[in-house]
Structure 1
Amino acid sequence: MIAVNYTFRTISENIDGTVITISPEAVIRDLAIDSRVISDPVASIFFAIKGRRDGHDYISDAYNYGVRSFVVEQQEIVKKFPDANFIIVNNTLTALHELVAKHRSNFDLKVIGITGSNGKTIVKEWLYQLLAIDHTIVRSPKSYNSQIGVPLSVWQINKENDLGIFEAGISSINEMRHLEEIIKPTIGVLTNLTDVHAQGFASKDQKLEEKLSLFSNVSLFIYSPDYITSSKISIPGKVKFTWSTKQTADLQVFAIEPIEGKSYLRATYRDEEIECLIPFSDKAAIENGIICWATLLATGYSPEEADKRLEKLLRVGMRLELKNGINNCSVIDDSYSADISSLAIALDFLNQQNQHVNKTVILSDIYQTGKTSAALYEEVALLLHQKNIGNLIGIGPDISANSKQFTMHALFFESTESFIRDFPGLHFNNESILVKGSRKFEFERISKLLTQKIHDTILEIDLTALAANLNFYKSRLQPKVKIMAMVKAFSYGSGSFEIANLLQFHKVDY
């Protein structure tokens, strides 16, 4: 992921606000909204966004970390940091949208925009798997589909990309038009429409119209008429491609046959019977697979080529898993995918684990980037350096061949098998370990070696719910009342550091 360099002067010219400049030629590459995950502070601009937490409360943290460029709403803050650049605006979220929309307009590339009630992230990741062999793709990391996640995703676009795949999610009226201005999709994909997230809308039709506004300027729109039943709804797209399992459509699926955990699909397309095999059998995966099938056909792939690619789809890991490891280690298991964007997110998550000083990354070869091997691993090495990673274990012939790119302590293995063979002599101890690998390397075998089973009974702690409860009680207190939190029985055996990190971030006093 090669970032585009701007200067603070250029950034300020694209945001409507009052500019206070100390270093107008300061280079800006990264956008920051979370003071905990700033990888390159000198080249970052921090947006103090007001959400469930007020970003203005974390300006000092970002400043102490090295950030010297800020976008804020509160003018009085400027006096506290006389050697920093500031843009003072009415709304920092709007300013973020303005800047990234301008950035997007600098690039002429095809962009697939995806929205719907469910399946957005899976469809995005599967389309990436299906199309990466033909394109240099930029895509939303994980489930970055919100009013903040979308601009952070689109900011990744650079001159090397010829295809973008971005997902967009909304929770209320008038949100999607802002995301459309940022994504500017040329191809639209609607996954489905259910009653999920319906609270912010007066009716199902209103929610559908709001979602469809993402596609107001697309040249191709791919959807199922099963989800657009009202005659009052205007269908976007200069060209429309439909799919259905219930009615006549461009891709009309008339048979779904389970075969040993897979699904054999038969359909009518251009008055001919075609088929494909999807390596999943659950209902949601079948629908997501059909959407990808329709997208391949609608964008010009032959039925034979589509079938060949769909059969190779891999399951998508939806979240990073933090596990207790052997010898007092913590293990972050992300063993099903490896690419630059998700690597950056995983490294940020690794750096949030403060229970160990030593950080180790176990990384496989990265495929389908469109870059030369030398350029790719130069970028990976720079990212690991920026994230202050002390130890690297590279697995695969490509990363091993580029071993000289990495300046930290590093070991390299040609295969997962060779790593497992030498595992007893590696002595992992008292460190945080990120396991990040392409699916073909079967890194789940490595994760199993590194993790230990401690509890026969597993109690999961929902950190999001914990934060929501904390913020509720804070809202009932006077501003100057301090808060003391007691972590019950070391978080029931594990996770004490994670809960402590969360409480610290939410400004608990004791």
Structure 2
Amino acid sequence: MTKIQETTLEISLGALQNNITFLRSKIRPTTKFMAVVKAYAYGSDAQQVALFLEKQQVDYFAVAYTDEGIALRNAGVTKPILVLHPLPVHFHEIIAYKLEPSLYNKYVFDAFLEASKNETNYPVHLKFNTGLNRLGFTAEEIPELLSALEKHSNLQVASVFSHLGASEDLNEKTFTLQQIKDFKEVSAQLNSKLSYKPLFHILNTSGILNYAEEAQFDMVRSGIGLYGFGNDPQYNHHFKNVVSLKSVISQIHHIQPNQSIGYNKGHIAKTAMKTATIPLGHADGISRQYGKGKAFLTVNGKQCPIVGNVCMDMLMIDITGVDCHEGDEVLIFGTQPTASAFASTAGTISYELLTAISQRVRRKVVS
């Protein structure tokens, strides 16, 4: 395998295939699958990932905002795309690109009614709040919703959904089961009144792993699981890491005792040491919180701590005693350490680390 020559985020389609196959094994063959590719497919490459997953016969895609859906359409994605947090200012674009909005309160519902007045049976998705308290209608608003839908033929409910707030934490099982119970009540009310049957879905990645028997409904959604993280030690070995961030050594320095390294004299050498400068900084998604020895990069199999403060475009690592040269490859995260392990050194999670990787970092799709 050719070594990389610049900072590169490698995206493994083979690992992506493994992960969707495993997630599908947890649900019925008839249950539909929604692939969540928001935030540039969790920091990877939304267009490449979505085009690959479309061939794996996923049923739906989900993005956070309208421009993400437009980018997928422009890349050639044809499957339905749910926009999870649409804003009324973009409703005409949503219709133009045949995207499907989540309607989560009366203000947004009424605004889309007006924007879609020339449409017939335009697919929309109703989101209900069952405990996350972020977005969503309440069960008490169902009669008003049904009345509006009956009066206006321009909208048709493609799906009804909610979002679990603690499905990865089995200590919160009572809370999660109550969310599921509340959603079942919402589903029953809508099923009894609508003249057609929309899809119902509530399970996210951790929900698929922990609550598939109780709440599979008609469709499930997965985001972080597709990219290799199950949020559960008992399942993690089934997942394969999709993205690996790699860079190279730009320059090696021999540092004398009492010399400083980096901005604000972030590190003072106590003894003679050797450092390597890496073309990667907080503008690329490796924030300052990883500096001063909290995180390490891997050079030729050796763990090398970050020294001093992370700069905007560069960081420095301690390579004392490591056999390496300028131009050698450096691993930031991948299989070992994983993005989760790397993120934990700074007290954060894989989601934040992955989605922070800058667009200026080159993406490379591998098998």
Q: Same fold (TM over 0.5)?
A: no
TM-score (norm 1): 0.29
Q: Using CA pairs under 8 Å that are at least 6 residues apart, name the structure with larger relative contact order, 1 or 2.
A: 2
